[in-house]
Structure formats: structure tokens, C-alpha cells
Chain A
Amino acid sequence: MKDQQLQDKVVGDRMNRVDGRLKVTGAAKYSAEYELPGLVHGALVGSTIAKGRITSLDTKAAERAPGVLAVITHLNSPKVPGFAAKSNPDEPPAIGQPLRVFHDEKVYFNDQPIALVVANTLEQARYAARLVKAQYAADEHRTDFEANKQRGFLPTQAKRNPKSAQNDYDRGQKNGYQTAPVKLEAEYVHTSEMHNPMELQSIIAHWEAPDRLTVYDKVQAVKGTQRAFAKDWGLPEENVKVIATFVGGAFGNGLHNWPHETAAIIAAKKLNRPVKLVLTREQMFTMVGYRPYTWQRIGMGATKDGKLVGITHESVGQTSSYEEFTESTLQQTRMMYTSPNVSTRYRILGLDISTPIWMRGPGEATGAFALESAMDEMAHLLNLDPMEFRLRNYTDVDPDNNKPWSTKFLKECYQLGAERIGWNKRQMKPGSLRDGDWFVGYGMGVGTFGANRGTAKARAVLQADGTVVLQSATTDIGPGTGTVMVQIAADALGMPPEKIRFELGNSTFPTAPSQGGSATVNTVGSAVLEACTALKGKLQQLGGAAFASAKPEDLTLAGGQLSLASNAGTKVSLADLRKQNNGQDIDVTVEAKPGNERQKYSMYSFSVHFAEVRVHAMTGEVRVSKMVSCADAGTIVNHKTAGSQMIGGAVGGIGMALTEGAVMDHRFGRYVTKDLADYHVPVHADAPAIEVAFVDKPDFIVDPLGTKGIGEIAIIGVAPAIANAIFNATGKRIRELPITPDKLMA
């Protein structure tokens, strides 16, 4: 709810998306939609073995096919200067060597790009791609996680850095849960979930000069991509321009630069023409990352009156043979509940499969499935209401480091959600509620994610027409970044939002981090706020003596003039301000960065998800009939876009819980589910009424806007809420996602 005192503020409004009209009318331009003179089309050929060497490549038929301009392989690819380097420091999560496309004859995973056919039309390229024939010397591959999980190892970054959170962790007594009067031990499996945003991964690569590269690329980090390609090609960063004005969903898969991007750049170099490369839906399953297969084991102990004695949480996550992908699967187990003894063990397992990447939530969502399922299992053992069990172990300081929370309103979330779902209808005894042929059950799951803030720059320009343009090199993968930035600026400048434009997705704009880790509003919003404050300061200066003693919030910009809210008579026209500024646009760029608050406080967003499910007594089908998601995410800048973000997270969580899971045939090391007919994302009919409630209390320790971040907590905790509800409905505890009817029939 909007604070009464903020009635005249734009922050908090349910403002419509500033780019909504562009998106629904098709006017918004996505990476593959730029028309450049001489543009040609690429199609990738994938390997059909999982490990080994290419011994020969027959490209003749493809080269002769109509419209084909080139077939690029490791045999004829222009050398990428950066490929000589051993590793790519722009990839902090993945120690190792990102796949060097067309670098040599080695095959590291099935469907690895081994050739790129470039032709005048997309159809010609795709047809000719089918004509490329490869011979291999196959090595024995290892793709079966379950058969190899004992080979899990401590990530190199943990070995190198004793302070890394990936290291083994023991608080209190190691495996202290074993001493508790009530114990449980359980294993949980998360099957790989594949990135399938609506927009396929696509790039147009254009060498505007031999040393100047422009890419229209579907990425979440325009500056990171600029750095990566500049390094690959030995160019000054400013010679590489990355455009990602609109991104049609990404969920994390745009946080890494993938082989297809470099393949397109290589082809554009070789042909000296702009090359467009759009992956096929099938290639989305093998070439651009996924939420990795993860095995987890939890040991949990409690007293009979429901106080946690200890939690041991181990996990093994899948990675590739050539890069070490890691994520934060276990952190929440260290900080969510008071437990004197906590042990965590994090391992990764390299397989002959492509490298995973973060998928919304990322590791925290995987970890929460195990932790929050185990909490439900323990509550059942103790014959306690699962919410009551969580409340008995609620903690007002971070037990991991004994720091106070910057803010924590999780109890408020519990209350809001319990009321709205009708938690009082939940029966303690599983299988007690029925609606005709369907069992009905209720479940909850908690989510948390670090309230992160990074460093970002923003530029604010007051133009001659009295409008303000803001720029920052962030991206908007869907949450409505441009919209909330305009709202923040409108309040900061005392201007109507219609007079403000926010531009993003361009590497020539002031530096900002990738859109990821729920940190964009905290980071870029703070920079926008500071840029607007700086712009006002400059106007105040230019306005002269009449404004010298005014407070910034008293300054308003409207009707082509600067005036005082408290005294409308004090005013100066924009034209005069410009005259004072040598006739130039009034232009400021600032850098905003966090202070030392992280040393004093522990900062997290929190959420709780409640699910009501129906499980068919005869067929095992599961339908989520209602969901309520409540979040403590600090200030809510826009209740409409934030609400949509929460709903999107809940739908993603339904997929994680019930339908999404990639299956591989390990004889071939090749996925058998690799299109949207075999790999099921939820459809509209799977998404019930989803209610969202925000606590909406600011956290000014995290950042001056009071925001904490929403993107991840929208999904973290959803899957266990549904799994717990299924248990409550049926008495069946399914510990392997997705929970499909076959598992409930077993």
C-alpha cells in the first residue's frame, strides 16, 4: 500500500510500462530485428557425439547449396586473438576455458557448434546446415550425473580462496543434527531446467571497420559483453559497441557470452558482411546454459518442542568438463533459521555436457527446494504446523555472522500470506481434504536472496525542450527497468514522468553492471537518483542567487522553467538556464556506489509462497489451484511491474515444481527432450489465480531508495511450497523435481 504522505510521489504508483505500447504493437526492436545493408544469415551445425574429436568434415554439399556464401569450421575459421589466452577473466563464476568455437577439432558436448553455414537467406542457411557431414573419433563420454556424483569436487575458486562461501562450513558442531532427539535425513534431486525465454538467443554481428565491431546481441550485460569481445579480438573497448535495447526474457542465460555469438562475429569478419544468427529452439537446450542438475542431502535435527538443533546440507551441482560453474545453493541454510549447528558442503561435478548458467533464483531456488522441503518434513515429524515450526526458529540476527539485518519483515509476510491463502483450512493430517476426485493440500516455502547493490553510472541531460533524458548501460530483460527509472527520476526531479526518458541497453552509455542478481533497481536506481540530484544541483547553480539557499526537494521543473514549490514566484526559464550554460544541454554524469554498510549489516530480501494444490486421486495429475506470494523487498517502486515480476516468478516456480526437467539419453549423451513439445513449460491453464502482497517497507541501509530486490525471491521457495502442498494433499513426499504424475502413481 502506498504511504499517505507519498501521495504526490510517482514512486509507488502502478504506472504503466513506458515501453508497453512499443512492445504490444511490435515496434520494439529485438536483436534479430535490425535491418542492415548486406545482411546475411547463419545456421549452426551441432556435433552428434558428446566427447571426442572431429576427424573429417565434409562441407562440399553445403557449399554447393543454393545461396550459401561460406561454411565456417575449425579448419578455415579466422583466428580469434583472445583464444590464445588461457582463460577469460570476464567470467568470474566459471573457472576454466569458455568454449572456443571453431578453435580446434575437440568436442566437449553433444550439439557443440562445429560449423556455421552462412547464406543469403535463413532458409538456405538452415537447409545447407543439414548437409554438413562430420566424422568423429569418439571418446567414452560421461554425462550421467547419478552414476558419477561421487566424483563431485570442491570448486577451484574455493580451493584458491579460503574466504570463498563455497568452502566447507561448520557452525557449532559438525553434523550436530545427529545429536538431536528428532532427526531426518533426506536426498533431493533437481533435474536440469532449460532456458527457454520467448525470444530465442540471437545476434547480428557487424564489423563497421576492420577494428570496429558492433553487435546487436541478446545479452543481460552490454558492458560485460563489450569487454569480452574487445578482449577476444584485441580491440580497445570503445571499438566494440553492444546494443540490447530490448530483451525478450532472459532469466540468466544472457549473463554469459556463448559460442554462437563468437561464431557470428567470426563469420562477419570472414565475409566482411553483417551476419545474423538466431538459434533454433532445439539449440536453446544445448548452447546457452541451463539450471544445473543438482543432488542435495539434508540432515536435520530438532528438539521435540520444535527448536532446530542442527542442519547439514550437502549439494553436488553439475557443470561442464571445461568450465567450473558454481552458484549459491547453500547460503540460505546458514542464515535462515536459528540453529546452533550448521554444516554445509558444496561440490560440483564436471560432465561432458555444455556449461550451465544461472537461471532465475538461481542456486538459491535449487537449495530452497531441499531446505524448505526438509523444514516441512521435520514439522510433520514433530506434528507442528509448518509455519509455527518456522516461527519457533525465526532469527532476528543473521546467525551466520551475528550481524543485524538491515531490515527483515518476514513475519509480516507469513501473516499476509497465511490470511490470503486460508492457511487455517490446512489439515495437519495429509490426505484429509478432498474436493470430489481431487485431494486438496496446502504448503508453504520461504525464499531469501541477498539485497545486493553494485556500482553504476548514470547520465542525466536536460534538453532544450524541457525534457530529461537519462542513460545507463543496464538492460531490461522484462521487469520494467525503464519504467521504474523514470518513476525514480520523476520524484527526484519534481517533474512529470512524461517529460523523462530513460535509455539503456547500449554499451556507449555510462557503465552499469549486468541485469542480474535482483540488483538493478538498487544499483542503477541509486545512480539515477544521484544523477537527478546532481542535475538539480547544477540547475540551482545556474539559477543564481534566487535559488542558492533552496533545498533540492523544493526545486521543481515544469512548464519550461525551474521554480520553487514553496514559492512559485521564484522562477527562471529553461532558456535562461541554458544561456548560463553556454547554450548547451545541461548534462551530468555520476557514479553511485555502496558504502561500508555491508560490514555492519546483513542484507536480504525475503519472500514466502503459499500454494493450494489439487492432486487427482486416480491419475496423479497435479493442478495448482491458488498461490499467494508475499515479499519483503523494501520499497516497491511500481506495484504493477513488481507484482507482475512476482507472478512471473510463481509461474516459473510451477514449471520447476511440476513440469520442467530435461532428460538425456546417456548412451548418446544427447538430450531427448529438446523442444517445447517434449519439455513442458507451464501454459496459461497451469497458472492459477496468483495473489501478490508486498510489505513495502523501505530499507535505506541497502540503498537510498529503500529497495531490496524482487527478481529472485519471486521464484525461490515456490517449488517447495508446491511439493509440500502435494505432501499435505496426498501423504506422498516426492523429492525429485519435477513432480510429474508418473512419480505420484509409483
Chain B
Amino acid sequence: MNQFQYLRPTKQQAAIEALARTPNAQFIAGGTNLLDLMKRGVLEPPRLIDINRLPLGKIERDNGRLRIGALALNGAVAEDKQVLERQPLLAQALNAGASAQLRNMATVGGNMLQRTRCSYFYDTAMPCNKREPGSGCGALEGYNRMHAIFGFSDKCIAVHPSDMSVALVALDATVLISGPKGDRRLPFADLHRLPGDTPQKDTNLEPGELITAVEIPDGPFTKNVHYLKVRERASYAFALVSVAAALSLDGNTIKDARLAMGGVAHKPWRLAEAEKSLIGKPATEATFRQAADIAMQGAKAFKHNSYKLRMAPNSIIQALKNAASVA
């Protein structure tokens, strides 16, 4: 990797200023993705600002919301009592990701900002508009088994790889951001963006902005939840398709529902219409199947990922069945 300057500020403002001063500087927390990207030459930041000394690791409940600091470790969040009690879907999603070693290094902020795992993005000898705008999308006509079926453009068909993000988008989370222009709040659903003509931009963060925390409002989804991750080995693999499903049941009737998919789009893919179709209906396979049909409207596959057109709806049905404990 390139030589870089390494700073380790203790004050949030200093960190933000340090980033703003140097073009292409990067924050580093757990480094579980950034180091890989640097070793492969995908990113060559001249300055790394290590934010691990900032006091952003707390998990606390306040005013009907669970606030998780950006530096809370994935492993710690997944085991946190309040998370398990209030937002078990998030714990399940976190535990589905990576390996125990990585979860013990990776932070919540870093997890949501991890880059796509598209092979073309990682290989500097291949075309990739995300890495090198204008060079073309290698995956479009290439090997696209892992790629998007929703929301892609002809510039990029990569998918967002995080499991945690799929749960957060389903749970109506909000991202807390601090930047050169002050603090702001952004709905988690608006953090990630679709590729459009500028796939080099993964998120709607402004230059110099730092994610400080994520907040999840208390909700009724404490029991009937399931995070289903489909992959070809039992652990330590990115999702072919994943589904975050949360139900609020009154007897067998669905009072409220949350549904999102991973591994299908450039951002965690909330399924709002499918959610609506579930409300007021009995928690049966027929209901779930209808929701899955709605969820899949507009899906389009490429040469190697047409299996997702079957795997995705099946996974939605399965996740909802598991959430509702329907045999």
C-alpha cells in the first residue's frame, strides 16, 4: 500500500477538520475493509485519521430510541442486552456477517460504509466505474452472479454488502452525522444511494462528514423477527440474497411488518409495498407469497444471477415464516 500520514485525534472536531484539509483522506476505525482496499491499491488515501479515540462507542437508550455509537463494535452490539431485548433483528443481522474475529474489529459506522465486494471493483486491472469513473462496468457483461436485480444502472450493477444495513433500513433507523457544516440527521434509508451515473458515490454523506451514531426507534418488533442469509457456505460469506423480516402479530393477524433485502441492490432494499400488503392479513404462507410477489416487481436479472429471481422471493417467504414461526 501507499505511504500515508496517520493521525489519531481525540476530539471529534479535530477529526472532521483533519479530513476536510486533505483531499481523499479517510477515516479509519476497525479497518476491516479499508486495509484490504489499500493493500489491493483500490484506495490510496494520503492521510488516515484514526477515530478510535473519539468517544463514540456507547450503546444507550434514550427517549424511546436506542442510540448506538458509530464506534461500537459489531460483536459488542450483537451481544448487547438492550439490543437483544429491543432490536433482536439487528443482533441477528450482525451475527450473520463476517466472522467472529472481524465482528470484534469492525465498527457500526464502518460496517454501513463498507464498499461493495464486486470483483471488478477490487481488481485495478479491470474496468469499474465505481473505482475509476468512465472506465466502464466490468460486471455488466461479465461475471455478475453476485450482482443487483433492483435499482442498478448501466454504469454499475454492484450490490451493497452489509447485513447490518439491511436490518437498520427495515427498522427505520436514523444516522447521526457531524460535519464541517454542523450536525444533521439522515434517515438510514437515505444514507445509501443508487448508482445512477455516479456509482463512485456510495452514500449521500457530504465531504468531511463523520457518522457519529445510529438511532433506532423502539418498536413492536421484539419477538417475531428473522434475518435470513443465503450463502453457499455456512459462515463467512457475503449474501447471495438476504432478508430482514419483522412482524408484529395479534394472534395470527399481522398488525405491522418490516421487510428489507440484501444482496439485491446498490443499497439495502426496503420493501415498503410488500410490507403494506402484509398488514391486516393472517400470517400464512399464502400471505407471505403474495408479499414476495409484490416485492419482486421490477426485478431484472443478468446473465449469471437469474437464480436470484427465484431465490429472493423464496427467501422472503422463508424469512417471514421463520419470523412468524409458521411451520
- Residue ID in chain B nearest A129 by CB atoms: B41
Size of the chain A interface, CB-CB below 8 angstroms = 42
User: Among the listed stretches B47-55, B138-146, B217-225, which one makes contact with chain A, having 4 or more residues with CB under 8 Å of it?
Assistant: B138-146
Binds B, one of A13-21, A475-483, A532-540, A680-688: A680-688
Scoring A residues 34 to 70 as 1 if CB is less than 8 Å from chain B, else 0, what string do you get?
0000000000000010000000000000000010000
Interface of A is mostly: loop
Instruction: Mark interface residues in B230-242 (1 if CB within 8 Å of A CB, else 0).
Output: 1111111110110
Segment of B119-127, B150-158, B208-216 engaged in the interface with chain A:
B119-127
**Least CB separation from A740: chain B residue:** B232
C-alpha spacing A437/B24, complex, angstroms:
49
Establish whether residues B143 and A683, one from each chain, have CB atoms under 8 Å apart when the complex forms: no
Q: A682 contacts which chain B residues (CB < 8 A)? A: 233
In the complex the two chains form, is B232's CB within 8 Å of A621's CB? yes
> B residues 230-280 with Cβ under 8 Å of A?
230-238, 240-241
How many residues on the B side are at the interface (Cβ–Cβ under 8 A)?
41
Question: Which residues of chain B from 187 to 233 have a CB within 8 Å of any chain A CB?
Answer: 228, 230-233
Contacts of A678 in B (CB 8 A): 117, 119
Task: Please state if B232 and A675 are interface contacts (CB–CB under 8 Å).
Answer: no
Known: A678-B119, A742-B240. A659 touches B233 (CB 8 A): yes
Q: Is the CB of A665 within 8 A of B307?
A: no
CB neighbours (8 Å) of A619 from chain B are 228, 230, 241, 311, 314-315, 318
Is B3 on the interface with A (CB-CB < 8 A)? yes
Residue of A nearest to B309 (CB): A745
Q: Is B21 an interface residue (CB 8 A)?
A: no
Residue B317 CB within 8 A of the other chain: yes
Interface locus among A112-120, A269-277, A397-405, A666-674: A666-674
Q: Select one of B99, B240, B314 contacting A618, CB under 8 A.
A: B314
B307 CB contact (under 8 Å) in A673, A674, A745: A745
The yes or no answer to A620 lying at the interface (CB within 8 A) is yes
Q: What residues of B have a CB within 8 angstroms of the CB of A623 in the complex? A: 234
Cβ-defined contact, A741 with B1, below 8 A: no
Interface residue? B297 (CB, 8 A)? no
Asked if B141 contacts A686 (CB within 8 A), the reply is no
Does B143 contact A618, Cβ atoms closer than 8 Å? no
Decide: B232 and A680 in contact? CB cutoff 8 A.
yes
User: B119's contact among A130, A621, A673, by CB below 8 Å, is which?
Assistant: A673
Are B315 and A618 touching (Cβ within 8 A)? yes
The residues of B that contact A685 with a CB separation of less than 8 Å are: 233-235
> Which residues from B are CB-within-8-Å of A409?
none
B116 to chain A, nearest CB (A): 12
Nearest chain A CB to B274's CB is how many angstroms away?
A: 17
Chain B residues with CB under 8 Å of A738's CB are 232
Q: Provide the residues of chain B in CB contact with A130, threshold 8 Å.
A: 41
Q: Please state if A680 and B230 are interface contacts (CB–CB under 8 Å).
A: no
Residues from chain B with Cβ under 8 Å of A620 in the complex: 230, 307, 311
Known: A48-B125, A665-B138, A680-B233. A672 touches B307 (CB 8 A): no
Q: Which of B143, B235, B305, B311 contacts A672 (CB 8 A)?
A: B143
Interface residues of B in 153-176 (CB under 8 A from A): none
Query: Quick check: is A677 within 8 A (CB to CB) of the other chain?
Result: yes
B2 CB-CB contact with A under 8 Å: yes
Contact of A741 (CB < 8 Å), options: B40, B142, B238, B311: B311
Instruction: Provide the residues of chain B in CB contact with A675, threshold 8 Å.
Output: 122
Given A621-B232, A680-B232, residue A745 in contact with residue B143 (CB < 8 A): no
B232 x A659 contact (CB < 8 A): yes
Chain A positions within 8 Å of B181 at CB level: none
Among residues of A, the one whose C-beta sits closest to the C-beta of B316 is A618
Q: Mark B36-52, 1 if CB is under 8 A from A, else 0.
A: 00011100000000000
Q: Are B238 and A665 in contact (CB under 8 A)?
A: no
Cβ of A398 to closest chain B Cβ, rounded Å:
39
Q: Does A127 contact B (CB under 8 A)?
A: yes
Residue of B nearest to A665 (CB): B142
- 14 A-B residue pairings within 8 Å (CB atoms): A66-B3, A127-B3, A618-B314, A618-B315, A658-B232, A663-B143, A677-B117, A680-B233, A680-B237, A683-B234, A685-B233, A741-B307, A742-B304, A745-B307
**Contacts A622-B232, A683-B234, A742-B311 supplied; 12 other A-B pairs, CB < 8 Å:** A66-B3, A437-B318, A619-B311, A619-B314, A619-B315, A620-B230, A665-B126, A665-B142, A665-B143, A673-B119, A741-B231, A741-B232
Residues of A with Cβ closer than 8 Å to B? 48, 66, 123, 126-127, 130, 282, 436-437, 616, 618-623, 658-659, 663, 665, 667-668, 670, 672-675, 677-678, 680, 682-686, 738, 740-743, 745-746
Task: Name the 5 nearest CB pairs between A and B, nearest first.
Answer: A685-B234, A742-B307, A48-B125, A672-B119, A618-B314
